[in-house]
Chains A and B, each alone.
Chain A
Amino acid sequence: SQKIEQNSEALNIQEGKTATLTCNYTNYSPAYLQWYRQDPGRGPVFLLLIRENEKEKRKERLKVTFDTTLKQSLFHITASQPADSATYLCALHTGGFKTIFGAGTRLFVKA
């Protein structure tokens, strides 16, 4: 069956460190993968998109990698700050105008 898994429900890190979040999928062949941030009580906010023919994408302190052989994407936040604390969702576009979201990883950055 098709499945998307994000590495853990919660990740605690110290301010200034790099946070690494994992998204694994099975039985999909996504054309591209996206990462979103969601704060409590709000809708998700788009962060980055990476296509299947791209290995890496960067935006400011954010970096995403996409390995279609391993069926895995890694999402990195460098020099993390308490304001980065949120839930991060990965999402696959499976074709057919449908986007499938992972359950999300809650990130807590301690000052």
Chain B
Amino acid sequence: KAGVTQTPRYLIKTRGQQVTLSCSPISGHRSVSWYQQTPGQGLQFLFEYFSETQRNKGNFPGRFSGRQFSNSRSEMNVSTLELGDSALYLCASSPQKGQGAHNEQFFGPGTRLTVL
């Protein structure tokens, strides 16, 4: 099976702009989670989607949003970019079938976002 893919791999934006990142999960995986990784804060949970529904959200401002499509592909959007949004954004998919199920996550290579 192909792994999790994320596009683009690298992105440079300026403050105030918006950005959309894309994630294609492993075939058959219906759960997709997004994380922000920075040297200072580590891996921070953004949100999780399952069957097009957001089931949980981390402590990020409303400028961060996401969605999932019927084919399980997911996008996240950051509006009004700030310098502090510079980070590696990671997407992970899981074969999770229910809340108590095995929840191993398969990560993509990430999108490196730089905000100037």
Contact = CB atoms under 8 A, between A and B. Distances in A.
B66 interface: no
Contacts of B56: 96-98
Tell me the dominant secondary structure on chain B's binding face. Answer: strand
Main secondary structure of the interface of A (DSSP, over half): loop
A95 interface: yes
A98 B33 CA distance: 8
B106 interface: yes
Interface of B: 4, 31, 33, 35, 42-45, 48, 50, 55-56, 58, 90, 92, 96, 99-100, 102-110
Nearest to B57: A98
B45 A99 contact: yes
B97 to A, nearest CB: 12
Contact of B42 (A31, A49, A97, A104): A104
Contacts of B33: 99
Given A32-B103, A99-B33, 6 more contacts: A43-B110, A89-B43, A93-B103, A96-B56, A98-B45, A98-B56
Given A31-B100, A49-B102, A97-B55, A43 B92 contact: yes
A46 B100 CA distance: 18
Interface residues of A, number: 22
7 contacts: A43-B110, A45-B107, A97-B96, A98-B48, A98-B58, A99-B103, A101-B42
A93 B55 CA distance: 14
Interface string A74-95: 0000000000000001000101
A97 B43 contact: no
Contacts of A34: 103-105
Given A97-B31, A97-B55, A97-B99, A46 B48 contact: no
